[in-house]
Amino acid sequence: MGYRYEIRLSGSGGQGLILAGLILAEAAGIYDGKYVCQSQSYGPEARGGASKSEVIISDEEIDYPKALKPDVLLAMNQTSCDLYCFDLKPNGILIVDSTFVKQLPTTKTIAIPFTAMARKELGKEMVANVVALGSLVFITGAVSIKSLEAALMNRVPRGTEELNRKAMELGVQLAKSYQQGGGF
């Protein structure tokens, strides 16, 4: 059986997780040459309620487009963490925005203050999704950083490229600091 990697990005509507899923899928499919499927769910919650994006990356054709047991869950708020954390595969990776997620379901959680650091370092909370995406890609290796950057530059609104590049780089640095045991 070939490689199949399932990633779920979740949080509140308006946090940019649908865009983050599209960027990740484009990085995997167009720039890394993998098979990829991206789906999203936000319904009436598009501004403030729950939203999620799922990305499946595979070396082989994808026959089922939904994540059954994600390898990775990125939870940008407490509700999403509580709702989806138990869907993870055993030994799956749980990454949370510690700005908003205070009750951790397991000690194996990677907690990084994406929103707080986006505000502090870049002056814009709105790029917390890209900060989180940079960390997720560094931690998991799901796609290459080069491919993530190319997809990011293709997808973000014109005039925001430099801010988003810095946000991605901040996410990578935060993940490196976390890995090395450094503080935030």
Q: What is the pLDDT of residue 1?
A: 44
User: Which residues are CB-neighbours of 119 under 8 A, at least 6 positions away?
Assistant: 125
Q: What are phi and psi of 58, to 5 degrees?
A: -145, 155
Below-50 pLDDT ranges, the chain: 1, 45
Domains of the chain (ranges plus CATH)?
4-179 (3.40.920.10)
**What pLDDT, on the 0 to 100 scale, is given for residue 41?**
85
Amino acid at 22: L
Count Cβ atoms within 10 A of the Cβ of residue 47 and give its class: 0-12 exposed, 13-18 middle, 19 or more buried: exposed
How far is the first Cα of the chain from the last one, in angstroms, to the nearest whole number? 40
Are the C-beta atoms of residues 47 and 25 closer than 8 Å to each other? no
pLDDT for the residue 3:
83
| pTM of the complete model | 0.93
Residue 183 confidence (pLDDT): 58
- CA–CA distance, 20 with 124 (Å, rounded to integer): 16
pLDDT in tens, 40-60: 986 554 555 678 999 999 999
